[in-house]
Amino acid sequence: MATNKILVMSLIIVGAMLGGVIPGVTTGKTAKACPLYCLQVEYMTCLSSGDAKLPPRCNCCLAPKNCTLHLSDSTSIHCK
């Protein structure tokens, strides 16, 4: 019976560490939350691709860093 209690407590502690409940203990994995909206992007350009027109992405959250989204109204948004 005592072994079962120790096992349950161990699972709770490990779960709390992995879940980020215990301050100061991290697993190193972070999630990125993206907004659920899509801009009217015609094409995308990136510094790494030169002047090539790349397929559009919905917003900067889905585009790589240092890329520019060129919108259908002739404006552009630089993604940092």
Chain Cα centroid distance, residue 48: 20
Query: CB atoms < 10 A from the CB of 10, how many?
Result: 10
Task: Supply the pLDDT for residue 51.
Answer: 87
Only one residue has tokens 């993604």, namely 79
The H or E element containing residue 45 is strand 41-46
Read off the pLDDT of residues 64-74 as tens digits, 9 standing for 90 and up.
Answer: 999 999 999 99
User: Total structural domains in the chain?
Assistant: 2
Q: Does residue 43 sit in the same domain as residue 15?
A: no
**CATH code of the domain covering residue 46:** 3.30.60
Rounded CA gap, 76 and 69, in Å? Answer: 5
**Own/partner pairs, 4-13, CB within 8 angstroms, 24+ separation:** none
Q: What is the pTM of this model?
A: 0.60
Domain range for 21 is: 1-31
Read off the pLDDT of residues 45-70 as tens digits, 9 standing for 90 and up.
Answer: 999 999 899 999 999 999 999 999 99
- pLDDT exceeds 70 at position 23: no
